[in-house]
Structure 1
């Protein structure tokens, strides 16, 4: 193959499209979205820029491919909340699932947190429901008929969970299970300080 990946080819179990996405995520994470070019992404994968355009029509399309799976997980989880009774056990499990999703998407989340302005500018109003989904999650965590203090604690608990996005940089040598447990306990303590 001479270092060139052919459009649509699968190399070592990974498609060219996946390799482009992974290379772009790495590049956007280190250089920033605005300071990265599609030429650099193509070079990192070992394909021509024309081959890259076969898979992704623009840099924004590539960014969407990187971010969309994380947003889809948020949507799926929040849309399922209506079917879950608000009990202490279920609150703990919902928080744990949200946390696991954040930990599995750490690199994407860190990119979003580090390069927020560039990403918001690039995506525009493509995901108008994200803020409402966040509010729905907070309201569910607070519980039915929650007062203002409880709603604020639920929002603060969600902020604790967002620490997962930067956890690799904060504690690079700590295993994921330990990070999950520490942030789960912290979020639950913020949500219910009387525990």
Structure 2
């Protein structure tokens, strides 16, 4: 037995990685704990030690994402709302999205499971908290929409965009360029609807 097999975090992470792959390939509803255990070469008892249900596994994906976004928000909330800080917030969020792509794809393709797990609200709450750091509540609608689009562009680059096989770096850079330009337009008070 390797040393990593004795590490609970390592086994837990392997379970999460395998589960998200199976959920993505077979669908959340059609994947059982038995299949996850078999794929990993674990007994069901060993799997139960870490997660009692597949709902617990799925919830752990969202908890990890939420903790990462909360850390960014706490960082942003402690600083003045300058353009530079807002741009840095977008960069940090881009890295969180990139590191949670399998979870984001799971969310996109398993909407029914999100409702059952009541985890869609976790995602929305975090996006709203991030948006609040990018734009003031009383800002014009155009500015509020730009801030929202700056965040959703980062999400869609990895989850919904169907490109020609761009690398992670190319996707990140292009999505960040769009997101940053939206926040910069707010800072410069650019209104493309005025003539």
* TM-score bin (small chain): 0.7 to 0.9
Aligned partner of residue 85 in structure 1, secondary structure: coil
Q: Does 1:90 pair with 2:85? A: yes
- Evaluate the alpha carbon distance shift between residue 142 and residue 65 of structure 1 in structure 2; reply closer, same or farther with a 3 A threshold: same
Match of 1:142 in 2: 135
Aligned partner of residue 128 in structure 2, secondary structure: helix
Deviation at 1:45, TM superposition (A): 0.3
- Evaluate the alpha carbon distance shift between residue 36 and residue 172 of structure 1 in structure 2; reply closer, same or farther with a 3 A threshold: farther
List 4+ stretches of structure 1 deviating above 6 A.
none
Q: Does 1:155 pair with 2:155? A: no
Match of 1:9 in 2: 5
Q: CA RMSD in A?
A: 2.8
Q: Which of 31, 42, 45 pairs up with 1:47? A: 42
Match of 2:181 in 1: 189
Deviation at 1:73, TM superposition (A): 0.7
CA distance in 2, matches of 1:192, 1:177: 22
Mapped contact 2:83–2:183 kept (Cα < 8 A): no
What does 1:123-142 correspond to in 2, within 5 Å? Answer: 123-124=117-118, 128=121, 130-142=123-135
Deviation at 1:145, TM superposition (A): 4.8
Aligned partner of residue 40 in structure 1, secondary structure: helix
Structure 2: which 5+ runs fail to align?
191-195
Q: Does 1:24 pair with 2:19? A: yes
Deviations 1:115-171 (A, max 9, x none): 1221221x22x675543332232122124752222112111222211113416x724
Aligned length in residues: 186
Mapped contact 1:38–1:49 kept (Cα < 8 A): yes
Match of 2:193 in 1: none
- Evaluate the alpha carbon distance shift between residue 131 and residue 19 of structure 1 in structure 2; reply closer, same or farther with a 3 A threshold: closer
- Evaluate the alpha carbon distance shift between residue 66 and residue 135 of structure 1 in structure 2; reply closer, same or farther with a 3 A threshold: closer
Deviations 1:82-120 (A, max 9, x none): 212222221111101101110111111111111122122
CA distance in 1, matches of 2:95, 2:81: 20
Q: Does 1:177 pair with 2:172? A: no
Mapped contact 2:154–2:179 kept (Cα < 8 A): yes
Structure 1: which 5+ runs fail to align?
none
Deviation at 1:43, TM superposition (A): 0.7
Q: Which of 164, 170, 193 pairs up with 2:157? A: 164
